[in-house]
């Protein structure tokens, strides 16, 4: 499963519109397998399955149009916190 996360230069999650980098994190077997970095959300060879955003007010239609699940990390900031929350199903689904 590939997670797509907008981040700032410190690899802390940030609003989609303010993303300096995008991370594609591959999670399999309950572990983080790989982390790829790209300048845009379309920079990756493999498709992303889940977009993780910072809050419910983000513009997420491009992700929805690509049939991606959108999850919200309300309290998690770092990559490790986000992946851990994903593994323990602590990220929230987008409130429309």
Determine the pLDDT at residue 95: 82
What integer pLDDT is reported at residue 22 of this predicted model?
Answer: 98
In order of their start, the domains of the chain are: 2-93 (3.30.420.130)
What's the confidence (pLDDT) of residue 94? Answer: 86
CA distances (Å), origin 3, targets 22, 41, 86: 10, 11, 9
Residues 50, 68 contacting (CB under 8 angstroms): yes
Model confidence pLDDT, tens digit, residues 21-59: 999 999 999 999 999 999 999 999 999 999 999 999 999
Average pLDDT, the chain: 96
> Does the structure show a pLDDT above 80 at 5?
yes
């Amino acid at each position: 499963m590939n997670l797509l996360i907008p981040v700032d230069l410190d690899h802390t999650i940030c609003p989609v519109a303010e993303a300096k980098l995008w991370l594609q994190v591959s999670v399999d077997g309950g572990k983080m397998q790989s982390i790829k970095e790209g300048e845009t959300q379309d920079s990756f060879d493999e498709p992303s399955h889940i977009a993780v955003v910072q809050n419910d007010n983000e513009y997420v239609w491009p992700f929805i149009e690509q049939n991606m699940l959108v999850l919200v990390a309300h309290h998690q900031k770092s990559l490790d916190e986000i992946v851990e929350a994903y593994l323990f199903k602590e990220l929230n689904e987008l409130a429309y």
